[in-house]
Amino acid sequence: MKDYLSTDQSLWTGRVSGKDLYLHETVRFVDLRDKDAYQTVGQTDFALLGYACDEGVRRNGGRTGAVEGPDHIRRQLAKLPNQLAEGYALFDGGTISCTDGNMERAQNQLADTVSGILGQGAIPVLIGGGHDIAYGHYHGIRQRTSPKQNIGILNFDAHFDLRPNEQGNNSGTPFYQLAREAQKEGLPFHYMCLGIRKDANDRALYENAREFGVSYLEAEQFQPRHFESVRRQLKSFMDKVDKLYVTIDLDGFSSAYAPGVSAASPMGFSPQLVLDCLREIVNSGKLISLDIAELNPAFDRDDQTAKLAASLIHYAITAISYSNQEL
């Protein structure tokens, strides 16, 4: 695995309880270069996997620095309390790194690694890195699911990321690539964006969204005061698919909450709204995999954005662990 890095375990530090009260006290480490390592990951586990790549952001003309995102999220996640239901565990499976600017190779390696994790029945939790993480992540899911299964993509984002890739792939093209591939294969493309901003997407991107049948809620609709409407539309989308892949682009949040991103804006959404949506998603029982993208520590303030990412992961894995016990 040319693009693989094992985890620096010193990142996982925090308050010591001696009673496994914090995630850094309970996390387990696996080196996924060892094929036998997958055997230690089971159906009641969450497998953290980094994607250290901002080549796609560079190609897209953005501010680079997201390559450092995964380890900053690890540092903040380590400090949080272990609230997982009994019998559940968090593994750290290391990081897929983009070397020599070869983003496509890193995406392929990411896909194979995600497939391996899913093959053990665990839930992948990916941390990036540019939003080009989505292309490799989705292909990993597809490798492990039947072509007959409808996989829904839920993207919390200010951007459609439906830019054409005729001039090359980048962090703005992943869903365009997936949509075109679905067209060629005669497969449905189930994609919903929550938080789309008019000031962040040109007319051509809206036209692409219409061509591909993308469902979306614009920022004016994606508001706490409209949550009942958001919930209904979210449920309508989820009812059409068999499994859900959730991707959260941190630049969709207002810069009041997430300054440490490549494309910050004060006009984004709030964390509580995303948490409310995650609750509905978890309760659907269809969530198969999750990622968080675009953390750029170079522009963060007091690790505020990294803390947000860690808290979103903490909420999701805790909620999933208890939801599964109730099934």
**Three-state secondary structure string covering 41-98:** CCCCEEEEEEEECCHHHHHCCCCCCHHHHHHHHHHHHHCCECCCCCCCEEEEEEEEEC
Distance CA 234, CA 242 (A): 14
- Can you tell me whether residue 17 is helix, strand or coil? coil
- Binding site listing for Mn(2+): 131, 157, 159, 161, 249, 251
Which single residue is written with the structure tokens 């993207």? Answer: 155
Q: How confident is the model at residue 327 (pLDDT cuts 50, 70, 90)?
A: very low
- Which of 287, 304, 286 is closest to 296 using CA atoms? 304
Whole-model pTM over 0.95: yes
For residue range 21-80, list pLDDT tens digits in order. Answer: 999 999 999 998 887 766 667 667 999 999 999 999 999 999 999 999 999 999 999 999
| Mean pLDDT calculated for residue range 192-197 | 98
Report the pLDDT value the prediction gives residue 36, as an integer from 0 to 100. Answer: 74
Longest dimension (CA), the chain: 56
**Three-state secondary structure string covering 175-233:** HHHHHHHHHHHCCCCEEEEEEECHHHCCHHHHHHHHHCCCEEEECCCCCHHHHHHHHHH
More reliable by pLDDT, 215 or 121: 215
In CATH terms, the fold of domain 4-326 is Arginase; Chain A (3.40.800)
- Partners of 89 in beta bridges: 45
Exposed, middle or buried, 303 (CB in 10 Å: 0-12/13-18/19+)? middle
- What residue ranges in 230-311 does DSSP mark as E strands? 243-249, 287-293
Domain boundaries, the chain: 4-326
Q: Which two tokens stand for residue 96?
A: 């897929």
- Binding site listing: 131, 157, 159, 161, 249, 251
- Which of 184, 98, 152 is closest to 290 using CA atoms? 152
For residue range 278-291, list pLDDT tens digits in order. Answer: 999 999 999 999 99
Q: Which two tokens stand for residue 211?
A: 């061509």
Q: What number of CA atoms fall less than 13 Å from residue 88's CA on the CB side?
A: 21
Q: How confident is the model at residue 239 (pLDDT cuts 50, 70, 90)?
A: very high
Distance CA 210, CA 212 (A): 5
Report the pLDDT value the prediction gives residue 15, as an integer from 0 to 100. Answer: 97
